[in-house]
Amino acid sequence: MGNNMENHKLFEISQSAIIQDSAGRILILKKNKKWLLPGGRLEENETWLEGLQREVEEEAGIEKFSIKKILDIDTSDDKNTYIATFLCKVEDVQVKLSSEHQEYVWLNLKDIDKYEFWHEKIKDRLKILLGASQ
C-alpha cells in the first residue's frame, strides 16, 4: 500500500455563504440559468475561514463580511462532500461578479419560490434561516 493512502481523501469540504445585507436580503448568484449561494470547495492546506473569504471574494468581489454562525452542515447526495453553510452579514457593498456567473440578486426570502436553484437543498437551507427570523 505504501504512501498512497496518505494522499487519498475520504471526503471533501465545500462551503456556502448566506450573505445578508442590512435590509435582511440574501445574495444569490446565477450560473448557467440556475441560482446558488457564493462558495465552493476548500483547497488543500486552507483553513475554512481562508476558503470562505477566498470564494466570496472570487465570486462576488466582497472582501469584508462578518461570519455570524454556522447555519447548517449537510452532506452531498453521494456523501463524499460535507457542505457547511455560514450565515454572514455585510454592510452596504458593491458586488463584482466573477466571469463564471451571469447575474446576481439581493433576494427577499419571501420571494424564494420565484427562483430556480441548483439544488433543492439550497432552498431548504434558506428556509431554515427564514424560519429562524420569524
Give the pLDDT confidence of 50-81 residue by residue, as tens digits: 999 999 999 999 999 999 999 889 888 888 89
Element housing 57 (H / E): helix 48-60
Which whole-number Å values give the CA distances from 122 to 4, 77, 99, 130, in the listed order?
35, 13, 22, 12
- Report the pLDDT averaged over residues 11-26: 92
Give the pLDDT confidence of 90-122 residue by residue, as tens digits: 997 889 999 999 999 999 988 998 999 988 888
Taking alpha carbons only, the member of 26, 30, 33 closest to residue 112 is 26
Residue 3's pLDDT is 44
pLDDT reading at 126 higher than 80: yes
